[in-house]
Amino acid sequence: MSGFRHVVLIEWAEGTTTSQQEEAAARLAELPGLIPEIRSYSVGGDAGIDEGNADFVIVGEFADQAAYETYRDHPAHRAVVGEYIRPFLARRAAIQYEL
């Protein structure tokens, strides 16, 4: 199935509480209901089986690059990132690629 995927791996800053992490996940999970360009959206915490992993992941799928850019620039997405992720962020790695 063709499409466009956006992947983000996050390491939380030291001291970020479990409830702050859960709040971020909950807010992100609301975005598919607010941004119709999201075709599928999956967030989760590391399963804890391999050493040195990131803490949290976001995988979003879109019909194409333009749909991803609408999501990326959408006020609802920017608000969640600004309020629930960026303040608690130690490290972030991301990519977008054609499926």
The residue ranges that bind a copy of itself (CB under 8 A) are: 4-5, 7, 9, 42, 44-47, 49-50, 52-57, 59, 65, 69, 72, 91, 93-99
One-letter amino acid of 64: D
Residue pair 56/16 in contact (Cβ under 8 Å)? The answer is no
CB of 56 to a copy of itself, least distance (A): 8
Closest to a copy of itself by CB, 14 or 47: 47
* Comparison of 17 and 65: residue with beta carbon closer to a copy of itself: 65
**Cβ–Cβ < 8 Å for 56, 44:** yes
Q: How far is the CB of 96 from a copy of itself (least distance, A)?
A: 5
Pick from 60, 45, 46: which is nearest to 99 by CA?
60
For residues 35 and 70, what is the distance between their CA atoms, to the nearest angstrom? Answer: 8
Question: Cα(1)–Cα(88) distance, rounded to whole angstroms?
Answer: 35
